[in-house]
Amino acid sequence: MAVQTAASSTGSTVPTVDLGPATALSCRECGHRVPLGPVFACEECFGPLEVAYDFSGYDTEGLRKRIETGPTSLWRYAPLLPVPADVADKPNLNPGWTRLVQADRLARELGVDAGRLFVKDDSGNPTHSFKDRVVAQALEAARAFGFTTLSCSSTGNLAGAVGAAAARAGFRSCVFIPHDLEQGKVVMAAVYGGRLVGIEGTYDDVNRFCSELIGDPAGEGWGFVNVNLRPYYAEGSKTLAYEICEQLGWRLPDQIVVPIASGSQLTKIDKGLRELIELGLVEDRPYKIFGAQAEGCSPVSAAFKAGHDVVRPQKPDTIAKSLAIGNPADGPYVLDIARRTGGAVEDVTDEQIVDAIRLLARTEGIFAETAGGVTVGVTKKLIENGVLDPAKTTVVLNTGDGLKTLDAVAGTGLTATIRPTLDSFREAGLQ
Ligand SMILES: *Cc1c(COP(=O)(O)O)cnc(C)c1O
Ligand SMILES: [Zn+2]
């Protein structure tokens, strides 16, 4: 689908899409620029395209004030996102501005100094995962480019986020998932009324199928949020970085632990932090980014430990299905960021994931999905290995809700079953 263009006074064509401060797409490998449109790969070198902006009109204090008086959703950062200025008035799920929890009881268990450990709890988003942030950006791009159907390949959470956003905005939706996902994720994706298609294969098979569909007339008019709208989608993860810093009183955390599926979220958190430094909204000082994977799908962690620059694909086998991408598109960029910032990439076993889910629930009252078990488990391991500094301000991401992955904690249940009498209560030893 072509971008609408109009003749400028010089006779050349300029895009007429209004995506706020976004000016173009630029190639992350060779810097080649193209107009804003539903494209994701560079025509020169096949590198991934990302959104480029013009922030030159902003003064730091004016921008800070505009953000602080903005909506209590991620749209408070609209001046830094590829969305029109009036985005908050359009029908969407208004995700973001989730709580940053000071986790002192968890800190004590992990041996972190009091007041230094925080959990950014993105289970509080409308469809209970961080994916609402990225879908909200892709929806605006879909509107701008005239798509009528929203689609995606998903490990589960994205399917629900797309279905809900499409329902709210009056789009059709058709989303694709591996056929064997958790029931909570399947129901969550189906209930919004769009089409949900199970593919016999892994996520990587689903993704390959969607790429074929985009090139085929059968996919005409479809906006795949994480494929042909990926440059816009990805920018939504910057808002995690913005919120964390604003909630810390416009300060950078020293260390941040981020889950890795495709690696997009981690790379954009880094981009968001660097933008805040460049805009003068936070002090320019070092921070470290740590990536977290499940051992059963740890291609980036394996490459980090082996000192490789390239990521060798794996066939996933883990309970952390939302992170089960065996061939992560942003893997090499994640390696680069972990090394450049002095961070690391680590993985934990399924058993450690379950222990970490229970630990977070027991200490802070936060019920995380398996991806949250991965980040908390990796944080624990990195502290034990002396890699993560327990005296520094650390933010751990919980990106999803435990209600979607109940099987992970199967066996958790009743303390006792009694008759409704005091005798029975005493007999069970409950007083
Ligand atoms: C999708 C997802 C992520 C991260 O995905 P990336 O592809 O690395 O951006 C993290 N946690 C949960 C729960 C997710 O669903
Ligand atoms: Zn290029």
Same domain, yes or no: 303 and 335: yes
Q: Is residue 58 part of a domain?
A: no
Q: Is residue 45 part of a domain?
A: no
List all residues whose CB is within 6 A of at least one atom of ligand 1: 129-131, 157, 259-265, 322, 369, 371, 399-400
Atom of ligand 1 nearest to the CA of 261: 8
Q: Is the pLDDT of residue 1 over 70?
A: no
Of the candidates 102, 94, 153, which has an alpha carbon nearest to the alpha carbon of residue 124? 94
Q: Is residue 116 part of a domain?
A: yes
Same domain, yes or no: 212 and 267: no
d(CA 272, CA 125): 19
Query: How many Å lie between the centroid of ligand 2 and the Cα of residue 430?
Result: 66
What pLDDT shows up at residue 4? 42
Query: How many Å lie between the centroid of ligand 2 and the Cα of residue 21?
Result: 22
Q: Answer positive or negative: Cα dihedral of 327, 119, 239, 164.
A: positive
Same domain, yes or no: 297 and 246: yes
In the predicted model, what is the mean pLDDT of residues 357-362?
A: 98
Q: Which residue has the higher pLDDT, 1 or 404?
A: 404
Residues 335-353: tens digit of each pLDDT: 999 999 999 999 999 999 9
| Main-chain dihedrals φ then ψ at residue 129, nearest 5 degrees | -155, 165
Q: Is residue 51 part of a domain?
A: no
The encoded tokens of residue 54 equal 């013009």
Query: How many Å lie between the centroid of ligand 2 and the Cα of residue 122?
Result: 33
Same domain, yes or no: 222 and 246: no
- Residue indicated by tokens 């390239």: 310
In the predicted model, what is the mean pLDDT of residues 199-222?
A: 92
Same domain, yes or no: 241 and 381: yes
Residues 219-269: tens digit of each pLDDT: 999 999 999 999 999 999 999 999 999 999 999 999 999 999 999 999 999
Name the closest-CA residue to atom 11, ligand 1.
399
What pLDDT shows up at residue 15? 52
Number of structural domains (the chain) is 2
- Residue indicated by tokens 């991965």: 374
Same domain, yes or no: 214 and 302: no
Mean pLDDT of the chain: 95
* Contacts for 7 with CB less than 8 Å, ≥ 6 apart: 13
Which domain CATH number covers 152? 3.40.50.1100
Which residue segment(s) compose the domain that 337 sits in?
100-128+237-409
In the predicted model, what is the mean pLDDT of residues 61-71?
A: 98
Return the exposure string of 310-345: e unless at least 16 CB atoms fall within 10 Å of the residue's CB, then b: ebeebebebbbbbbbbbbbbbbbbbbebbeebebbb
In the predicted model, what is the mean pLDDT of residues 389-411?
A: 95
d(CA 348, CA 368): 16
Residues 121-161: tens digit of each pLDDT: 999 999 999 999 999 999 999 999 999 999 999 989 999 99
Burial of 121 (0-12, 13-18, 19+ CB in 10 A): buried
6 falls in which pLDDT band (50, 70, 90)?
very low
Same domain, yes or no: 343 and 291: yes
In the predicted model, what is the mean pLDDT of residues 265-294?
A: 98
Same domain, yes or no: 210 and 272: no
Query: How many Å lie between the centroid of ligand 2 and the Cα of residue 49?
Result: 8
Q: Is the pLDDT of residue 354 over 50?
A: yes
Q: What proportion of the chain, given as a percentage, has pLDDT over 90?
A: 92
d(CA 278, CA 282): 8
Q: Residue 312: left (phi > 0), alpha (psi -120 to 50), or beta? A: beta
14 falls in which pLDDT band (50, 70, 90)?
low
411 falls in which pLDDT band (50, 70, 90)?
confident
Same domain, yes or no: 325 and 259: yes
Same domain, yes or no: 170 and 107: no
Q: Is residue 34 part of a domain?
A: no
Same domain, yes or no: 348 and 251: yes
d(CA 274, CA 284): 9
Ligand 1: which of 182, 319, 399, 403 to mutate, judged by most atoms within 8 Å of the beta carbon?
Answer: 399
Same domain, yes or no: 348 and 225: no
d(CA 83, CA 179): 33
427 falls in which pLDDT band (50, 70, 90)?
very high
Q: Is residue 370 part of a domain?
A: yes
Query: How many Å lie between the centroid of ligand 1 and the Cα of residue 427?
Result: 47
In the predicted model, what is the mean pLDDT of residues 86-112?
A: 97
Q: Is the pLDDT of residue 9 over 50?
A: no
Atom of ligand 1 nearest to the CA of 329: 7
Residues 114-123: tens digit of each pLDDT: 999 999 999 9
